[in-house]
Amino acid sequence: MSALAKTAIARAVNVTRNKFEARTEALLKSEGVNFTYETDKIPYVTQHNYIPDFVATKRDGSKMYIETKGQVGGKIGKEMRAKMKAVKKQHPELDIRFVFYNAHAPITKARNGKTVAQWAESLGFKWAHKEIPYEWIDEMEIIS
């Protein structure tokens, strides 16, 4: 490799993430290729399955999914919120509801941060504090 190519790689490392990418960038430049580095974003979806805690049949025959949540902060809470946001976006027709151990708990330690109840409302989820409200039970099919 020539001294000129090594200098090009050294400069490219400042732009690229590693020496291997820098070598590729240097080659493209030396050949006069029109290119950009990490400028396009291509969305993709990975397949996952959401398994609700409880599935109740409603009087009209449809389903009510009930998710009970104790911890909603930290890494576990962040992953749960991202998952449920994706589920809501991909299945807005589902009746998914939350029962939070503490619906008034802040999601983050920020002074004016959202509570878990506000987060749920912002995505259109019904929620309850500590226990299932009787209004929800009134919607459910009762075993005789």
The answer to whether position 11 is within a domain reads yes
The answer to whether position 96 is within a domain reads yes
Assess whether 69 and 115 both reside in one domain: yes
The answer to whether position 116 is within a domain reads yes
The answer to whether position 49 is within a domain reads no
- Please state, for a pLDDT cut of 70, what percent of the chain lies above it: 86
Residue 134 parent element (H or E): helix 134-139
Domain count, the chain: 2
Rounded to an integer, what distance in angstroms lies between the CA atom of residue 82 and that of residue 12? 35
The answer to whether position 26 is within a domain reads yes
Rounded to an integer, what distance in angstroms lies between the CA atom of residue 129 and that of residue 4? 67
Assess whether 103 and 135 both reside in one domain: yes
Assess whether 78 and 101 both reside in one domain: yes
The string of pLDDT tens digits covering residues 93-124 is 999 999 999 999 888 776 677 899 999 999 99
27 confidence band (pLDDT: 50, 70, 90): very high
Assess whether 34 and 73 both reside in one domain: no
The range of the structural domain enclosing residue 2 comes to 1-42
What one-letter code names the amino acid at 74? Answer: G
